[in-house]
Structure 1
Amino acid sequence: MNNTKHFEFWPARLPKSLTVPKTTLFEDLEMTTRKYPDKVAMQYYGASYTYEEIYSEAQKLAGYLEHELGIQKQDKVLLFIQNSPQFLISFFAILRLRAVVVPINPMSVTEDLEFYVKDCGINHGIVGQELINKVLPLKESHLLSELIVATYSDYINQSNTSLELPSLVTEPRQTNIEVISWHEAMQAEKKATEFNGKENDVAVIPYTSGTTGLPKGCIHTNRTVQANTVGAAHWMNMTADTVTLTTLPLFHVTGLVHSALTPIYAGGTLVILTRWNRENAAKAIEEFGCNHWINISTMLIDFLSNPNLENYDISSLTQIGGGGAPLPEAVGEDLYNRTGLRFVEGYGLSETISHTHFNPPDRPKLQCLGIPSFDVDARVIDLESGEELGANEEGELVVNGPQVFKGYFQRDEENEKSFITLDGKSFFRTGDIVKMDEDGYFFIVDRLKRMINASGYKVWPTEVESILYKHPAVQQACVVSAPDEKRGETVKAFVILKENYKGEVDEGDLINWSKDQMAAYKYPRIVEFKEEFPTTSSGKILWRELQKNS
């Protein structure tokens, strides 16, 4: 049964349902350019670019891709670039041809890229200059035909910024006869044939992280992406005067939708950082008056722990939120005390091109996924029987909505396992264990694969982590399972201490404190201090890497 309890807490200004436009993502940029041609679309390390300039460059690149590289409708194109104007120019240029963007994590190595290229049948790529050596072996082995290489320094103005510039951003343009330079492609002044894109054209195939096996490509059309692009614009109150701090990686669905496509749809300005740097983030908020910032909890924790933060005026912020991992309650309270803002948490997956759930901005709950977004039917089912569960019962989250993908690319068997039919509707099985409270808000319990079985008791690492964050010495925590002769598995916590507590708090102190904070079977039996955690480029802690060392 579709639960509607959450409508009691729905933002009063918004309709309960939203009509998804039939226009394409490329037409979003085109229409915004018509409305605001001279408005600044992007700020990038001292340089600014209007919508007219970005649109014009996307058109030029599309012409080159079509006439020189022969890229046609539904061809898959590798997009292997860091956050930059060139990422988004490339994104729209590929869509201009009704081709398909395959955005790949810049941290990927050659072996990873070989898998993606073969799996998706990719022939051409657009690559950041600093990443080219990872990709060239695939060209030399004829897996890839042609590569266009972008240099970030072509788009900066060092003399006009107080931001600290990452070395990869200042690196001058290199000459390489094996590839085509971005500069050469732009100078060619080619014009693409008439655009006649459709809402159901496949637009982008983001890959899952592969935490439960090989990565899988998620097929998204213009329509599935538009559902969340337009939904986010309404939910987060975006206008043409919104200034977005773009720090989440754009290859990732949350960064792409919330920090790029949505503000472009609204006609706002993007302040783009290629590398996360908490000092630069604070400077950018102050200098450009950023009022919208979607991030990840690890990013916000680092931002708030900056001892220089008090020196910056960040009062322009009016909307701050994110997803990827639950924000610890203690961090949310710290944010509120400093800014008066509540963190608006959301939940989503590559399979749903970011969010299916949002917290109402005027009534968010901490450590909460939120309520189902526009036209999303979200339910909790029993892990074994598949029966629908009620309030406060833990089970697997399944979702039906306009943003749900069209299936995994060339994975028929996976597609069969990934969907379930309830009341005649198809629901995607997320693999996440959740519970829904009496208000219709959803809360993550944990990933099904991450549960710790300690003496037969289920321990969800996320819950233990959230309690550890309440200790004043804890900056970051990651909980994993460790082998134990008696219990089978036991609870181990990796902890990064705040600077002023290093040497003042030891492992035993945290274990003893934890005993008083949680049930006997939950508290960590082992604590190990770290200086840093391995993370994905989107900021998620790689808990499996830590568990390997346990």
Structure 2
Amino acid sequence: MEIEPMDRIWEKSWTISWVKEGYQHGRDPLFHHLYTNTIRHRQRPAIVFYGQIITWDELRDLLMRAAGGLQKLGVEKGDRVYLGMQNCPQFVISFFAAHCLGAIVTAISPAYKAGEVRYILNDSGAKVLIIEESVVPVLNEIKDQIPAVENVIVTSLDEYLPSDPYPAFPADLMSKGIKYPGTISWQEFMASEPLQEMADVDINDVALLQYTSGTTGKPKGAMLTHMNLLNGAFINTAHTANTVDTVQVGMLPMFHITGMNDHLLTTAFLGSTLCIITRFDPVAFLQIVEKYQANYSVLATPMVIYLASHPSFSEYDISSLYNFGIGGATLPQAVFNKYLEMGITLCEGYGMSETTATVSFNPIEAAKLGSIGLPMPQIDLRIVDIDDLSKDVPIGEEGELWVKGPSCGIGYWNNPAGTAETFLGDGWVRTGDIVKMDEDGYLYICGRLKEMIKSSAYSIFPAEVEEYMYGHPAILECCVIGVPHEVKGELVKAFVVLRPEWDGKITEKELIEWARGQMAPYKYPRIIEFRDSLPKGPTGKVARKILKEEEKQRELSCIS
């Protein structure tokens, strides 16, 4: 069946500053653009890391040495290289060094626990791992269960710190000074001879496996090509007024598609400056904006809410910021106004791993609070009637968002069933999100068809959390939902039925603490409610919808 897009009514609302045309990408992948920028902008700062400046000239040498180190370890075109690091220069270096060899990057949160890491390593077949020190104990738990892994490179997050960091670097992230048997140190790795010739990479080759939760509960590796990355970078430069002179602050994790696209890929494309903050730190953010006159950043909505209420917010001059990209939760009008009074427009956007992040964005001159903005050039979409997928809903009514464009991925790695469900052929991607569009073409998120939980802009699928929870011997039945939270958007709540022999022998608090050790920090349940039984539908399946409605009614009764 040929899928027809809806009329592009949003084009009438594109503002004068927006680039109306799409990107004509040619044959060169993004890492070629990056290499050209290292020559064009030699002495300009490419990376600022707590006061340490790495110029584009220096970055080129670091990239080529890292690529030479990977080549020495036998990495070839198509091999997978796993990155498990918080934000640091090594992440940037490793990401593009792998691409110089035609390797495929798999970037994962270093907070993932043993079960999550084991699954992704075995699913991706990663050959080489580049990880920060904190991941080593997790890796040691599973070292006999990851047969494809040949080499592990370990780095500390303070490798490129200056002698007097500004802002102050988190003390708990400083190097432990430990040597890890059976691994290669970052210094040894970077002592390699520089790569002499980059691989012959086609723009349609897979560049990235971006793992995201799916309907089966197990993470799925969205396959993104070099063309996807290039178009994703273009979208986030052409529609934010960013130029080569822009100074960006990258505090969102770069292993996440939003931070990766909005900061890592866009600065590589532009040749601009990226100030890297290792993890969320409101004071560090304010200090860097003031010191380096930063112009642009993207943060999860809960972060900008927290930032605005921080006691240090008014102590620093952040007037150089002209635009803030946000997303992941509802923004209160008062917070929007507080930034606007400072000359800063908070512009919400929308995207997902399968679309290399941005699909829609609010123009800085015409941002609508509560909207995820206007579709980008080269984006086709449908808002589909969920009861009849052959029809689109009228303007103003709710339906599932389907997207097509040059930044949309090509499927899920080793997962034909998941691919068939989401990637519909001819470039179309089912997002699973319920949206509506107003008469000006602005989109609004109404809900999530697949019951995804959004916590601090992270996507969490209940089935994945439930699968890990069932690893505890006390649990007979478990159902997970998202409950509202004023800062994080949602918290994960688990309804649990205990096995009879465990009744009275474990508390909710103890089960939460156990879950904390099984999953990433944003993913484990913060609330557990014991039940004697869970509601079920006619087929015997737990009725998640009933639990969500009960929770909603409980919230309403508390308000009243």
TM-score range, shorter chain: 0.7 to 0.9
Q: 2:161 aligns with which of 147, 156, 160?
A: 156
Asked if 1:383 corresponds to 2:390, the answer is no
Q: Which residue of 2 aligns with 1:113?
A: 117
Asked if 1:89 corresponds to 2:93, the answer is yes
1:84 Cα shift?
Answer: 0.1
Asked if 1:24 corresponds to 2:23, the answer is no
Matches of 1:19 and 1:373 in 2, distance apart? Answer: 11
Asked if 1:34 corresponds to 2:35, the answer is no
Asked if 1:46 corresponds to 2:51, the answer is yes
Q: Which residue of 2 aligns with 1:441?
A: 442
Structure 1 residues 152, 476: CA separation in 2 closer, same or farther (over 3 Å shift)? closer
Which is worse superposed, 262-271 or 85-94?
262-271
Structure 1 residues 241, 379: CA separation in 2 closer, same or farther (over 3 Å shift)? same
1:15 Cα shift?
Answer: 3.9
Q: Which residue of 1 aligns with 2:296?
A: 292
Please say if residues 235 and 358 of structure 2, whose CA atoms lie closer than 8 Å, have aligned partners that are also in contact: no
Unaligned 5+ segments in structure 2 are: 454-480, 496-515, 531-550, 552-560
Asked if 1:222 corresponds to 2:222, the answer is no
How many residues get paired?
476
Q: 1:188 aligns with which of 159, 168, 192?
A: 192
Q: 2:60 aligns with which of 31, 55, 60?
A: 55
5 Å matches for 1:120-135? 120-135=124-139
Q: 1:357 aligns with which of 325, 339, 360?
A: 360
1:279 Cα shift?
Answer: 0.8
1:212 Cα shift?
Answer: 6.0
Matches of 2:96 and 2:363 in 1, distance apart? Answer: 31
Classify the secondary structure of the residue corresponding to 2:284: helix
Please say if residues 215 and 450 of structure 2, whose CA atoms lie closer than 8 Å, have aligned partners that are also in contact: no
Q: Which residue of 2 aligns with 1:332?
A: 336
What is the CA deviation profile of residues 136-179 of structure 1, one whole-angstrom value per residue up to 9, with x for unaligned ones? 344444522210111222200141x3312113442254322310
Which residue identity lines up with residue 269 of structure 2 in the other structure?
A: Y
Q: 1:306 aligns with which of 298, 307, 310?
A: 310
Matches of 1:281 and 1:434 in 2, distance apart? Answer: 33
Matches of 1:305 and 1:236 in 2, distance apart? Answer: 25
1:120 Cα shift?
Answer: 1.0
Please say if residues 100 and 198 of structure 2, whose CA atoms lie closer than 8 Å, have aligned partners that are also in contact: no
Unaligned 5+ segments in structure 1 are: 453-460, 469-473, 484-533
Matches of 1:227 and 1:409 in 2, distance apart? Answer: 21
1:476 Cα shift?
Answer: 6.0
Please say if residues 302 and 487 of structure 2, whose CA atoms lie closer than 8 Å, have aligned partners that are also in contact: no
5 Å matches for 1:84-483? 84-141=88-145, 143=147, 144-159=149-164, 161-210=165-214, 213-337=217-341, 339-386=342-389, 387-420=391-424, 425-450=426-451, 478=490
Please say if residues 405 and 427 of structure 2, whose CA atoms lie closer than 8 Å, have aligned partners that are also in contact: no
Asked if 1:75 corresponds to 2:76, the answer is no
Please say if residues 76 and 123 of structure 1, whose CA atoms lie closer than 8 Å, have aligned partners that are also in contact: yes
Q: Which residue of 1 aligns with 2:555?
A: none
Please say if residues 20 and 230 of structure 1, whose CA atoms lie closer than 8 Å, have aligned partners that are also in contact: no
Classify the secondary structure of the residue corresponding to 1:7: helix
1:278 Cα shift?
Answer: 0.6
Classify the secondary structure of the residue corresponding to 2:139: helix
Please say if residues 158 and 174 of structure 2, whose CA atoms lie closer than 8 Å, have aligned partners that are also in contact: yes
1:328 Cα shift?
Answer: 3.4
Which residue identity lines up with residue 392 of structure 2 in the other structure?
A: E
Matches of 2:255 and 2:219 in 1, distance apart? Answer: 15
Please say if residues 103 and 205 of structure 1, whose CA atoms lie closer than 8 Å, have aligned partners that are also in contact: yes
Percent of aligned pairs sharing the same letter? 32
Structure 1 residues 120, 480: CA separation in 2 closer, same or farther (over 3 Å shift)? closer
1:366 Cα shift?
Answer: 0.9
Which residue identity lines up with residue 40 of structure 1 in the other structure?
A: P
Q: Which residue of 2 aligns with 1:10?
A: 14
What is the CA deviation profile of residues 473-528 of structure 1, one whole-angstrom value per residue up to 9, with x for unaligned ones? x6666488999xxxxxxxxxxxxxxxxxxxxxxxxxxxxxxxxxxxxxxxxxxxxx
Please say if residues 66 and 192 of structure 1, whose CA atoms lie closer than 8 Å, have aligned partners that are also in contact: no
